[in-house]
Structure 1
Amino acid sequence: HQGEGDRWGRVEPALWGSMGAPGPTIQSLWPQAPIKESLISLSDEDTNKQAVESFRVLMQFMGDQPKPRGKNDLELLYELLKLCREENLRDEIYCQVIKQVTCHPQPEHCTRGWNLLSLLTGCFSPSATLMPYVIKFLQNSGSSQELARNSQEHLQRTVKYGGRQRLPSLGEIQAFLKGQGMRSLLIHLPGGVDYRTTIQTFTVAAEVVEELCRQMGITDPQEMQEFALFLIKKEGESLLVRPLLPHEYLNSVVEQDTSLHSRRLIWETPLHFDNPTYITTHYKQVLRDYLQGKLLVNPQADTQLARLAALQHLCPRQDMLNYLPKPLRGHVNIPIIKKLIDQELRQLQVYNSQEAQISFIEAVSQLPLFGYTVYVVLRVSQMALPGPSLLGLNHQHLIVMDPCSQKQCCSITLKDLHRLHLLSPLESEGPPGLELNYGSADNPQTIWFELLKAQELMHTIVFLTDRVGEGMKRGRGPSQVQV
């Protein structure tokens, strides 16, 4: 078989026959002795020596050769996975493992080889040349049906999501070999609701998001992409908060000192209220942003404030003052608000809790910053603002608004972003900053923002630009910005 230069100049014909490709049929491929040269023709002598050594390690792991003193099965397996990081060895090791598990006379040894192949397919993809042969081999492996099916699923995931960038830990591999690769994972939803799920060695963030969406009755793939998992991890005295990209493998990022939270990040798909879980989840998220003052309301808009408070009152009941956005509680006439709330409650007495939640979401959706992820910005370069401003970020652009006048001070389209740069605090113990480079080649622009959550903002922009990149077929902007 010829292709990809001279490295494919020689592959054993019998091996191709076993994988469903043209080649003679043979009774057994399993060798009793180590190979003396690579299965694939490798032009580099050192790489060829590595290939011969990898086969020896493979036989030692499978039990076909004695283990070297001081090394156990786990160390041998990890050694093979580390060798697969070298792209010029990856196809060779794929072929070696397939050769060893084909017609192997000892089932226990053969199972070890299949476990390795299952890990291999979950971490690394073979070349485009080898891929169809690997797929055909897995499809034809009836004698190891379950193991072959697992490998097929892992390979499909690797092709779709790119494979695990970080190898599984030794402890994770040991659990995988024992058939204990599943683990429980807790997801925190808006409003203090928790959702528990189960993940496996090669589960990615997109799969958990899809599961959460199905619980809310969401079936549209485009709408599913509007939700994200946020990783929160303690780093010294501060917290790292960032959305996980869809292709990130959860076992690579979720550790003991981390937690996962889910929320809607993009609000492009029209809302629909046909599922109780959907309604409650969206209500809790919108309510949290509203009460934190991230959705701008004029303090003089007494009727609007009263209606939103009354709708909350029809859900869980609490003190009336807690229904108002925190920044406005000292700037409104409380007796007038309470009187208006009583009037609204008389009109809304026929509403049940779920109807009130829907009406609240619909009312809040008319506010200026609805659908944005909002951050409090302390300073903006080249702008003289009277106080802290609000930075709103959605899938299309970034805006800055003066919360007092509710006037937009700045707008940057995400597709015009070129580079993000995290800045050290300007003052000791001050907040960090984030510098943005954007604009055209003829008119480059630079702006920086000083805010406590600069790192979170940077990661969220990267996530959204990645989502925008996936939407290019629908006529949107470019892929990721440089960080």
Structure 2
Amino acid sequence: MPHERVSRGSGYQGARSPSPNQRQAYTLSSNSRAARTPSPNRRKSARSPSPTRKAANSSKSQVHRSEAMSFSTTRNGVHSPTQIRKAERSKSPARNGFHSLPARKPKSKGPYTLERFAMMNFSVKPAKRPTVATKSGSNTGSIWQHTTEPIQKPLLQHLLRDQQLSSRACSAFKAIMKYMGDYPTKKTNLQGTQMTDKIFTDALRLDGLKDEIYCQIIKQLTNNTLNVSEERGWELMWLATGLFSPSDTLQPELGKFLRLAHHTLAEDCQRRLLAVSQLTQQRKYPPHWVEVETIQHHYTQIFHFIFLPDDKSNASFQVSSTMTVGDLCKSIANRLGLKSNKGFGLFLIMASRIIAMHEESDFFFDALRRQIDWEQEGIKSAKSEESDMPVLAYQMFFLRKIWTDVVPGDDVQADTVFHYHQELPKFLRGYYSCPPEDAAKLAALQFRARYGNDKTEMQNIAKRLSDFLPEDLVKSRSVDDWKRAIISAYNQPWITSMTKDAAKVAFLKIMYRWPTFGSSFFEAAKVTGSDNTEDVLLAINKHGILIIDAQSKEVQKTFPYSEIQGWAGSGQSDFFLTVGNESKGAMKLHFKTKLGYKMDDLLTSYVRYMQKRPSSGQHSNNNKTL
């Protein structure tokens, strides 16, 4: 199956995973899958030789056993090759709990198995005689190939020394069987990530289980004659190779298995495994449901929908299991033609909260899982373990976060897609102190940016003043005065000659002169005494933290980052800020706000950014913990 592309909706709007019946239909409709699965009659005839052939085989086997017995004896003090190999195996030391096997070329070019690896490293030794197939299609008698019976011990022998690892290995194997359809379970358990979480969570936290999981998946894929089961097993292999790599001992075994496997996912699994093995760190969280649903729908390229502030450039961007938050930010910036991705970030809007993904080194899907798991813990009801947790709805935005280096006109693409659409809502909410002489110009520029040369809506400007000006400014003059002022400003040649994008840049250039340009505003109450509070606006921007009068919008006090000694939240509505310097001493300020978590994140981001720019003059070696 060639790599296919899927353009998904937003991360929370993707189709749910198919039912087992649907998945079976997907599998059975594949010509390649049918070609690899012999008919029942052919399987039966292949495993059940005629009486004549049985007699012949019995005669040959007796001869072979006789020859083997005579060849294995010691002649004149010389050990036979069989005894020499046994001696070599017994002498080879175990490395990291594993025994190495003598090099030997495979007897055939068929699929690679763990039969030889199991001889030295599995807790239950492989059967010496060929296995037989049951009516259900599973093989019995060999620990290294597909079974429909749960294991009672971990596959790897060295895990027997740890009771916790042994127990979790057996639990993981049962989860693998349930996912593959080899063990009965509720259909709802196959939806979402409930089953994949049970398979991979412990292995991500405990290194000793990583090889065990790979061995279990390979085992269930080996000689698996159940069509749907094998297909689901390859889904698990695809997910595993995007999470962690095996040990150096198992790496060659896994590599051979993937290279010699006759499945369309094998090549992509090799590519994913190579990418994971080259990382300095590996995933910390099990697969996100977008990853799970992607492979369940038979796609190997993952796309995630990203929202942008202009509402026109929203698009699906390709991501991967090993892509970091920083990598995705660079990818988005490059595709949009931005001059730089510095200062931009990803924001998760979920459950009425806006959460910044500020750790650029985090894997993208790990960052998503961390926040989603945290939210789910808060809403988890008293359901049984086997019940399916709902997938939380969320939206992923790409926005300007740090405004330190923003100069309107330097990057027109960033101005028109991001800066204008992020500053305009704050202006209309009345957070800025707008001089009267600028208000009419800003309204005219908004009209130009929205309608271009179309003046038909200008006749309705009196009824729509609140669409272009903050409420407090609208009330400061009569409607007719505002109408005349806006029309007069709009008819000036420097505005009538502008394109829509040029009007957006001109809008930003006027606001750029204001001290609060590019600020993030937080409504708060300043605690001035035991029972006294004063409504204020807190603004965080490139200058530091600004305390603004909630009514006049005048800046009361500015604390540069060099004077910010720390900050902390207490409870759900208290935020403490410690400011000062050596000459003035420290002062602790107390505010009431429900947005303390956002202030904490933004202050952390600005301080880190300033520390990377020593020439800015804003040095801070503060510890935010009070």
* TM-score normalised by length of structure 2: 0.56
Deviations 1:60-106 (A, max 9, x none): 5798xx9456589958755432431441433433563586599x566
CA distance change for structure 1 residues 133 and 414 in 2, over 3 Å: closer, same or farther? farther
Alignment of 1:177-216 (within 5 A): 177-179=296-298, 187-190=306-309, 192-193=311-312, 195-197=314-316, 202=321, 206=326, 209-216=329-336
| 1:407 corresponding residue in structure 2 | 555
Q: Give the CA deviation at 1:392.
A: 0.9
Equivalents in 2 of 1:211, 1:464: separation in Å? 26
CA distance change for structure 1 residues 467 and 147 in 2, over 3 Å: closer, same or farther? farther
Answer yes or no: is 1:327 the counterpart of 2:444. Answer: no
Deviations 1:330-350 (A, max 9, x none): 224766655554156324232
Aligned residues: CA RMSD: 4.9
SS of aligned partner of 1:242: strand
Equivalents in 1 of 2:592, 2:504: separation in Å? 35
Whether the aligned pair in 2 keeps the contact of 1:34 and 1:55 (CA below 8 Å) is no
Runs of 5+ consecutive residues of structure 1 not aligned to the other structure:
1-5, 15-22, 234-238, 425-431
CA distance change for structure 1 residues 423 and 437 in 2, over 3 Å: closer, same or farther? farther
SS of aligned partner of 2:548: strand
CA distance change for structure 1 residues 399 and 263 in 2, over 3 Å: closer, same or farther? same
SS of aligned partner of 2:497: coil
CA distance change for structure 1 residues 266 and 146 in 2, over 3 Å: closer, same or farther? same
Deviations 1:422-474 (A, max 9, x none): 435xxxxxxx34334677999765332223xx23x413532552575477555
Q: Give the CA deviation at 1:42.
A: 5.4
Q: Give the CA deviation at 1:368.
A: 1.5
SS of aligned partner of 2:338: coil
| 1:427 corresponding residue in structure 2 | none
Q: Select which of 586, 590, 605 maps to 1:448.
A: 590
Q: Select which of 126, 144, 147 maps to 2:269.
A: 147
Q: Give the CA deviation at 1:115.
A: 3.2
Q: Give the CA deviation at 1:119.
A: 2.0
| 2:535 corresponding residue in structure 1 | 388
Q: Select which of 319, 343, 351 maps to 2:498.
A: 351
Equivalents in 2 of 1:117, 1:477: separation in Å? 47
Answer yes or no: is 1:283 the counterpart of 2:420. Answer: yes
Equivalents in 2 of 1:449, 1:294: separation in Å? 18
Q: Give the CA deviation at 1:110.
A: 7.1
Q: Give the CA deviation at 1:360.
A: 1.1
Deviations 1:320-375 (A, max 9, x none): 63433333222247666555541563242322322221111111111121111112
Whether the aligned pair in 1 keeps the contact of 2:348 and 2:354 (CA below 8 Å) is yes
Whether the aligned pair in 2 keeps the contact of 1:182 and 1:198 (CA below 8 Å) is no
| 2:238 corresponding residue in structure 1 | 118
Answer yes or no: is 1:231 the counterpart of 2:349. Answer: yes
| 1:13 corresponding residue in structure 2 | 100
- The percent identity for this pair of structures is 14
CA distance change for structure 1 residues 462 and 140 in 2, over 3 Å: closer, same or farther? farther
CA distance change for structure 1 residues 178 and 330 in 2, over 3 Å: closer, same or farther? closer
SS of aligned partner of 1:145: helix
Q: Give the CA deviation at 1:164.
A: 5.3
| 1:428 corresponding residue in structure 2 | none
Q: Select which of 413, 423, 426 maps to 2:571.
A: 423
Equivalents in 2 of 1:180, 1:466: separation in Å? 36
Q: Give the CA deviation at 1:391.
A: 0.9
Q: Select which of 398, 402, 414 maps to 1:266.
A: 402
Relative CO higher for 1 or 2, CA cutoff 8 Å, sep ≥ 6?
Answer: 2
Equivalents in 1 of 2:480, 2:293: separation in Å? 65
- Flag the structure with larger Rg: 2
Q: Give the CA deviation at 1:231.
A: 0.8
Deviations 1:107-142 (A, max 9, x none): 97776555324323444x459xx4798599669954
Equivalents in 2 of 1:241, 1:474: separation in Å? 27
| 2:431 corresponding residue in structure 1 | 294
Q: How many residues align?
A: 441
Answer yes or no: is 1:84 the counterpart of 2:203. Answer: yes
| 2:597 corresponding residue in structure 1 | 458
SS of aligned partner of 1:329: helix
